[in-house]
Amino acid sequence: MQRNGPDGRALETPRAAGLAGVVFALLLTAMIVLLRLGIPEGADVAGAEGFTDATRRAAVRAALALVPFAGIFFLWFLGAVRAHVGDVEDRFLATVLLGSGLVFTATLFGAAASATAVLAVAHPAGSAPSLTTWDFGRHFAYTLLTEYAMRMAAVFVSSMSVIGARMGVLPRWLTAVGAVTALLLLFVSSHVPWAELVFPAWSLLLSVHILLAGWRRRRVTPA
């Protein structure tokens, strides 16, 4: 997308904004995988005892370290998405798109904070956290991630798909993939482990499309 600046020169969305979606998708995928390996959903007392394993704790710490960067790159990705839509965007849908993206980021940070609480809970070295503490921290983290963050992601995906279909800024196959992704995030991700990975997969597809569209525009636009 290009706009005219105060001096009349064209202002173009930075290529880094499009690449941010690719980086975000990779970071979110790594975070989800590490978090699920480090704090298995459905783990019982044996799972809590296994949490004293240094490898599992390291996986959770690595996942938590990725969350702030994933959030930062997602905001850049959100900017690239709105720039790709351009001036033809519907204000209502654009507001839903922006709001759901911001709430998703905040909820993702909340899930990371609750997982941090599981790591920081006070218990004797070499022993497992109490079952009550373990259950609360684990369920709270996964509830925020799968129930709330992923449903906000579903709103983000569905609003972008509707914008893409109405305004013709996305190919039909990508809007269809977005519709399926939104349904999976809305109704399946809270019940089927690993289903939340469809969101970074969709984000990766959309980012590649935005990058290719920008590259094609630069080829046909005179200097």
CB 129 within 8 A of CB 51: yes
Residue-wise pLDDT tens for the chain (223 aa)?
A: 444 444 433 334 556 667 899 999 999 999 999 988 877 665 554 455 556 667 877 888 899 999 999 999 999 999 888 887 876 667 888 899 999 999 999 999 998 888 787 777 655 555 556 667 667 777 888 889 888 999 999 999 999 999 988 888 899 999 999 999 999 999 998 888 899 999 999 999 999 998 888 777 666 655 4
CB 178 within 8 A of CB 160: yes
pTM summary value? 0.83
Q: Which residues contact 175 (CB under 8 A, 6 or more apart)?
A: 161, 164, 165
CA-to-CA dists, residue 67 to 5, 31, 118, angstroms: 35, 7, 16
